[in-house]
């Protein structure tokens, strides 16, 4: 029999936020010799307005953490990385090679938005803030372009499926994930002489497939490991069967009626997918190639270029439809408003509250010969959500102007890049020695119900829900215990 060191090695895991945005998982490894190594998985921005105040400080000391692992480059997973470095984090950040380039584009754009929104706010005299939320220092942006450069100097890109060491006793393997270009599921292996290894896999946001690239199955040796899986659960209670595939129909109907069709989209991923879908409609001769397609949003052009520069790694040879034109700047945007021809306008931002959508939406919402499609989720208090909530032909106030909603407005869910319930369960079923599932990244009720569903359908040894309140202690054979987190200081942030 192997002699074991007395002290058991463990990994403590905690999610900094109980809902979807502001993704940040804190991990502490304790080795039998007493050494502790701390790492973070993702460090995202809180995007819901009610949680904006949480962005301004960390409830932990960033200088105590040794390294950061990044699953993918959505801003709710990476948006606070420059802030982390600014607050004293000295470690390296590891992510996929592809994600490095995408991260730089996303963070620089975010720094610009943060800087310009501070300038706007300082011009307004009164900032209305709920009295329960402490006023943050709005004279300074969260971070600036220089902070992004500092952070990016510490980012290291890695190939998929190639195990690398981040510490003497900790190795990491990135597995290709269909959620976005460059996204990974991250396998962490913790070893120590005389102890069984701990394996933990972080799904990040997960999708088993992608329109632009193939996702190989995870290597079979991983399926055999005694493993803890930290899974997202955004659509944990949404079945694939409830997704309506209406995009093509809405586009063709609008064109048939000779309208202007506005589609608001996230710059990264969604924009390229919609361009590809329009190209497919043209190829099938369903969409007339003479209909002009305009696209607007500087960041989306940058992402188009990144996608094009990696086209050899993708399963498609092109995604740009025929007859597509870029709108460069405010003048061209205004000129387009007076164009009465049938056309399609693809614009950022997805939720309508940033970027050129702020020009198109207020103008076109009152036009009867117009259809507006929101290509994804729109959060509370965004222009996109507001335009969906107003009833047809209702008079409402928009930027101080009384406006009638005459355009047809739709929000579609078929472009989502998150796994639905069936896919998430299929993913978990791959693991033949599943010790523990930690449910993360979902609305509270969804997480709870999805956790029950996992117990019913898969029955791993244990299932727990990640939250900011408790650490889950994980050992080589799964759950050790759960205990209250009293080392985090939320007093500045709550």
| DSSP type of residue 426 | H
Point out which span in 74-82, 123-131, 242-250, 256-264 binds Zn ion (CB under 5 A).
Answer: 74-82
Decide: is 74 part of the binding site for Zn ion (CB under 5 A): yes
- CB of 205 or CB of 304, closer to Zn ion: 205
Point out which span in 200-208, 284-292, 306-314, 399-407 binds Zn ion (CB under 5 A).
Answer: 200-208
Q: How far is the CB of 491 from Zn ion (least distance, A)?
A: 27
What number of H helices and E strands is found in the chain? 13, 23
- Rounded Cα distance between 122 and 397, Å, is 24
Most distant CA atoms of the chain, gap in Å: 82
Site for Zn ion in 392-431 (CB under 5 A): none
- CB of 101 or CB of 259, closer to Zn ion: 101
Q: How far is the CB of 53 from Zn ion (least distance, A)?
A: 20
- CB of 74 or CB of 453, closer to Zn ion: 74
Q: How far is the CB of 96 from Zn ion (least distance, A)?
A: 14
Point out which span in 119-127, 152-160, 205-213, 222-230 binds Zn ion (CB under 5 A).
Answer: 205-213
Q: How far is the CB of 42 from Zn ion (least distance, A)?
A: 8
- CB of 74 or CB of 277, closer to Zn ion: 74
- CB of 46 or CB of 354, closer to Zn ion: 46
- Which residues, in sequence order, are CB contacts of 242 under 8 Å at separation 6+? none
Q: Residue 346 in contact with residue 295, Cβ under 8 Å?
A: yes
Q: How many other C-beta atoms lie within 10 A of the C-beta of residue 110?
A: 23
Q: How far is the CB of 20 from Zn ion (least distance, A)?
A: 6
- CB of 375 or CB of 478, closer to Zn ion: 375
Site for Zn ion in 316-355 (CB under 5 A): none
Q: Residue 69 in contact with residue 40, Cβ under 8 Å?
A: yes
x/- mask, Zn ion, residues 157-196, rule CB under 5 A, reads ----------------------------------------
Collapse the DSSP code of 232 into the 3-class scheme (helix H, G, I; strand E, B; otherwise coil) and give the result: strand
Decide: is 19 part of the binding site for Zn ion (CB under 5 A): no
| DSSP type of residue 34 | S
- CB of 205 or CB of 259, closer to Zn ion: 205
Decide: is 80 part of the binding site for Zn ion (CB under 5 A): no
Q: How far is the CB of 329 from Zn ion (least distance, A)?
A: 30
Q: How far is the CB of 222 from Zn ion (least distance, A)?
A: 22
Q: Which helix (H) or strand (E) holds 304?
A: helix 298-309
Point out which span in 47-55, 197-205, 237-245, 313-321 binds Zn ion (CB under 5 A).
Answer: 197-205
Q: How far is the CB of 441 from Zn ion (least distance, A)?
A: 6
Query: How many residues bind Zn ion, per CB under 5 A?
Result: 2
- CB of 294 or CB of 307, closer to Zn ion: 307
Q: How far is the CB of 303 from Zn ion (least distance, A)?
A: 14
The pairing of beta strand 470-475 with beta strand 478-484: antiparallel
Q: Report CA dihedral (297, 299, 302, 303) to the nearest 10 degrees.
A: -100
Written as six digits, the tokens of 464 are: 């727990």
- Rounded Cα distance between 36 and 11, Å, is 10
Q: Residue 58 in contact with residue 84, Cβ under 8 Å?
A: yes
Cα separation values, 77 from 20, 215, 354, Å: 10, 21, 19
Decide: is 273 part of the binding site for Zn ion (CB under 5 A): no
- Rounded Cα distance between 470 and 15, Å, is 9
| DSSP type of residue 444 | H
Collapse the DSSP code of 481 into the 3-class scheme (helix H, G, I; strand E, B; otherwise coil) and give the result: strand
Written as six digits, the tokens of 412 are: 């579609």
Decide: is 205 part of the binding site for Zn ion (CB under 5 A): yes
- Rounded Cα distance between 430 and 395, Å, is 53
- CB of 184 or CB of 228, closer to Zn ion: 184
**Site residues, Zn ion (CB under 5 A):** 74, 205
């Amino acid at each position: 029999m192997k002699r074991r060191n007395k002290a058991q090695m463990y990994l403590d895991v905690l999610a900094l936020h109980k809902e979807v945005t502001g993704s940040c998982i804190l991990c502490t490894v304790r080795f039998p010799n007493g050494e502790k190594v701390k790492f973070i998985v993702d460090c995202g921005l809180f995007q819901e307005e009610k949680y904006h105040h949480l962005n301004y400080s960390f409830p932990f000391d960033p200088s105590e953490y040794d390294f950061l692992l990044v699953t993918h480059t959505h801003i709710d997973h990476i948006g606070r990385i420059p802030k982390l470095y600014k607050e004293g984090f000295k470690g390296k950040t590891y992510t996929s090679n592809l994600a490095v380039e995408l991260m730089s584009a996303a963070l620089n754009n975010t720094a610009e938005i943060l800087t310009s929104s501070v300038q706007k706010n300082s011009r307004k005299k009164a900032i209305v803030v709920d009295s329960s939320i402490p006023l943050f220092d709005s004279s300074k942006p969260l971070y600036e372009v220089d902070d992004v450069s500092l952070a990016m100097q510490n980012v290291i890109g890695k190939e998929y499926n190639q195990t690398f060491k981040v510490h003497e006793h900790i190795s990491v393997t990135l597995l290709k994930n269909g959620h976005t270009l460059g996204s990974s599921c991250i396998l962490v292996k913790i070893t120590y002489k005389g102890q069984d290894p701990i394996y933990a896999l972080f799904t990040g946001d997960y999708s088993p497939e992608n329109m632009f690239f193939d996702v190989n199955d995870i290597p079979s040796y991983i399926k055999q490991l005694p493993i803890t899986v930290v899974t997202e659960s955004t659509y944990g209670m949404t079945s694939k069967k409830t997704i309506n595939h209406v995009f093509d129909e809405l586009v063709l109907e609008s064109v048939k009626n000779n309208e202007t069709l506005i589609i608001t989209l996230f710059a990264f991923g969604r924009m390229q997918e919609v361009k590809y879908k329009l190209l497919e409609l043209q190829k099938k001769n369903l969409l007339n190639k003479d209909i002009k397609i305009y696209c607007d949003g500087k960041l989306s052009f940058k992402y188009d270029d990144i996608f094009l520069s990696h086209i050899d790694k993708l399963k498609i040879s092109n995604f740009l439809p025929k007859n597509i034109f870029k709108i460069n700047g405010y003048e061209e945007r205004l000129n387009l408003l007076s164009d009465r021809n049938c056309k399609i306008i693809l614009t950022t931002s997805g939720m309508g509250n940033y970027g050129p959508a702020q020009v198109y939406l207020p103008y076109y919402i009152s036009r009867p010969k117009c259809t507006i499609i929101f290509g994804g989720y729109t959060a509370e208090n965004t222009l996109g959500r507001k335009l969906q909530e107003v009833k047809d032909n209702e008079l409402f106030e928009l930027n101080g102007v009384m406006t009638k909603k005459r355009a047809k407005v739709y929000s579609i869910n078929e472009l989502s890049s998150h796994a639905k319930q069936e896919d998430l369960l299929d993913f978990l079923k791959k693991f033949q020695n599943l010790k523990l599932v930690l449910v993360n990244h979902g609305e509270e009720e969804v997480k709870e119900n999805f956790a029950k569903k996992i117990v019913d359908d898969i029955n791993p040894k244990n299932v727990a829900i990640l939250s900011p309140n408790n650490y889950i202690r994980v050992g080589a054979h799964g759950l050790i215990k759960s205990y209250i987190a009293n080392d985090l200081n939320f007093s500045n942030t709550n």
